[in-house]
Structure 1
Amino acid sequence: MDCSYKKIKDQLLSDIIPVNDRDLNEQTIRQRLLTRPRSEPSFSIDPEPNNYQRHLSASNLYDQADDLIDTVLEVPTKCVEQAKEVGKRVVQYVVDHSHLPQWLLDNEFLISGHRPPMPSFKKCFASIFRLHTETVNIWTHLLGTLFFIITAIYFISRPSSEVHIEKKLIFGAFFLGAILCLLCSTLYHTLYCHSPKISKFFSKLDYCGIAFLIIGSIIPLLYYQFYCEFGTKVAYLTFIGVLGIGCIVVSMWDKFSSAHYRIYRALLFITFGVFGFIPSCHYMIQFGVEHAFKVGAIQYLLLVAALYLIGACLYAARIPERLAPGLFDIWFQSHQLFHVFVVVAACVHYYGICVLSHNQTTVFGDCRNILSSNTVPIASIIS
């Protein structure tokens, strides 16, 4: 680096200093000036009166050129040094998959960009603002959490004349499930590199949050789809509650959070979601397909189910990183896509239950209208 710097500097000086003065350095000029008799006037004794002035001018020019070149070349040199320092910090901050300890190994198709063990809560939370394999996972669900918190506050704070307290409680169950799910996921992806103990604890909370989201999503559906059938609502709510508790119990099992059980985790919650769809199938059979789509907002529920299913399948199969290991280490990996599908599905579900609630008030009216002869009978669906 020093040799290159000197070569560049000498080349620039040779271009700036006049040709006749290239062999004249500062030391030679000063020596000649000092050996010149001070008492002799330059205009009468000096046979070449302009030589010293020329030498002095060349010396000043050399000094100025030297300072200017140092100043100009100093900027890129400092930039290179700073870039090297930043590069060292980045390299030290993230590691390859092969350098991770056993308890941090999860997806072997993500080759680089992993956070090493960080036994400090402060450093873990500071890593939210740095780029690594978990950055997008953190921010997708963090922004989703903030969105549903703000929406819940707005919805619940509306006056009772606009939104009845009963409706606030029903929607509150959904908001609570969505917020707990997304918040637990955010905390897990932020803190899982802290230590094995913290990683296991927040991994369990992450899976419990999924169960909370499913339960919270089904409550509004049961309430409005079987608005006048109290026994049916209680039966389905009990059934879903037992399944949800079962998922939470299994999620608290240490072995269940290991990478080996990735597919089983996905299948468990897919099964839970499918069972959660049974009440809606019952609703379509009882009131008719046309009624279910026009009034019951079943189309939104089907879209939600498709989004969850696609996201879970991508997560279980680890696509697309399986197809090109190392290419999706930071962006567009399967877990990130799964997070996006979850947030979008939760938003669609919220809109769907808003439509269902509105229809219950404006179309359903009282229970006699819901069970009127205008609905399609079961026999017509079977035939």
Structure 2
Amino acid sequence: MLTVKLPQLLNVHQMPRVFWEDGIMSGYRHPKSTALDCLLSSFQMTNETVNIWTHFLPTCFAHTFSSMSAHARHICYFLDYGALSLYSLGCAFTYGAYVMPDRWVNSILHRYYVPIAAFNTFICTGLSCYSRFLEVDRPVLSKVLRTVAFVHPFVFDNIPLFYRLLFCYGEGCNWNEAIPLHLYHLFFAFWTGFLFASHLPERLAPGRFDYIGHSHQLFHICAVMGTHFQMEAVLTDQLSRKAWLSLYYETDSLAITLGVAATSVIGNVMLICFFTATLLWSPQANSILQNNIPGEAKVKEH
């Protein structure tokens, strides 16, 4: 009978410091896993399994292959951050087209909204990638920078929506059937950010949520739910405002839209390449590349 030997799992004290997660005590994959081991671990209960299967976009990057080495871990997350940055630009495209309050349509803010969002992708990717170099020596600053990197484009993208919900009254404020869906999106977005920053509940009971229920899993689930309601809200706004927008909205050409998207993609790829090169060749990266396993000789190789 054909049998498959699943990769060995380790506890936190058998892992290099760079792989430690707050409050997660067991279920770690070997930090020198092969690509096959990483794929097999997707079908094994580890502390990353739910993360892998609930990851919204870059499933094959940030979690699946992050246990191959310290280098692989950081590079996988660099790619993850780039993908999330480009997602924020996609949000800006749709919000600029369909969520902008009537009274802001064709305003100066509206005209520069997407270009600013494209610039924000560089801030998001640059800050979040840089934060990984501080992860071991200055973990608090690393977490703050990474949180700011993702909160900043979220807040900017949602300025039109915040205005509609909080400060806009009467005609031109677009109070339509999309508003409840936007509120659901913001509700899940709040919990996404809170779970990412707080590491709850595993901080309160280390070891109890190693496999099911830790913050990163809940963070993924809230992010997916929030994105679902975000898409539904944008589609509802698009349908309800289509006639008015066709008369008053000066849409960008396809060439301009593709040009902004391509510039952002190329710029983010260059940033990721820069940080990857720094990781591989800079002596200053040594502190986050310590891949020695405590008591490695005692750990059975797999």
Q: Deviations over 1:227-267 (max 9, x none)?
A: 85175432111222222211112233263572612243123
Q: Residue 114 of structure 2 aligns to a residue in which SS? A: helix
Q: Deviations over 1:148-202 (max 9, x none)?
A: xxxxxxxxxxxxxxxxxxxxxxxxxxxxxxxxxx22x542111111011111111
Q: Is the CA contact (8 Å cut-off) linking 1:118 and 1:124 kept in structure 2?
A: no
Higher normalized helix content (fraction of residues): 1
Query: What letter corresponds to residue 136 of structure 1 in structure 2?
Result: V
**Residues 1:343 and 2:224 are matched in the alignment:** yes
Q: Is the CA contact (8 Å cut-off) linking 1:311 and 1:339 kept in structure 2?
A: yes
CA pair 244-289 structure 1, distance change in 2 beyond 3 A: farther
Residue matched to 2:192: 311
Give the TM-score normalised by the residue count of structure 1: 0.56
Q: Is the CA contact (8 Å cut-off) linking 1:188 and 1:203 kept in structure 2?
A: yes
* Structure 2 unaligned residues grouped into runs of 5+: 250-302
How many angstroms does 1:132 deviate by? 0.4
* Structure 1 unaligned residues grouped into runs of 5+: 1-85, 145-181, 369-383
**Residues 1:98 and 2:13 are matched in the alignment:** yes
Q: How does 1:111-260 map to 2 (within 5 A)?
A: 111-141=25-55, 144=56, 182-183=57-58, 185-226=59-100, 228-229=105-106, 231-253=108-130, 255-256=132-133, 258=135, 260=139
Q: Equivalent of 1:327, from 208, 216, 226?
A: 208
How many angstroms does 1:106 deviate by? 2.8
Q: Deviations over 1:94-135 (max 9, x none)?
A: 11101101232232x111111112341111111111110000
Q: Distance in 2 between matches of 1:321 and 1:116?
A: 21
CA pair 311-257 structure 1, distance change in 2 beyond 3 A: farther
Q: Deviations over 1:270-325 (max 9, x none)?
A: 23211222233445689636764633834433332231221221221110111111
Give the TM-score normalised by the residue count of structure 2: 0.70
Q: Residue 344 of structure 1 aligns to a residue in which SS? A: helix
Q: Distance in 2 between matches of 1:300 and 1:192?
A: 35
Q: Residue 241 of structure 2 aligns to a residue in which SS? A: helix
How many angstroms does 1:364 deviate by? 5.6
Q: Residue 200 of structure 2 aligns to a residue in which SS? A: coil
Would you say how many aligned residue pairs link Structure 1 and Structure 2? 240
Identity of aligned residues (%): 24
Q: Distance in 1 between matches of 2:158 and 2:214?
A: 28
CA RMSD of aligned residues (A): 2.9
Residue matched to 1:274: 155
CA pair 363-229 structure 1, distance change in 2 beyond 3 A: closer
Q: Distance in 2 between matches of 1:361 and 1:105?
A: 50
CA pair 307-290 structure 1, distance change in 2 beyond 3 A: farther
Q: Distance in 2 between matches of 1:336 and 1:135?
A: 9
Which is bigger in relative contact order (C-alpha 8 A, separation at least 6)?
2
Q: Distance in 2 between matches of 1:365 and 1:275?
A: 25
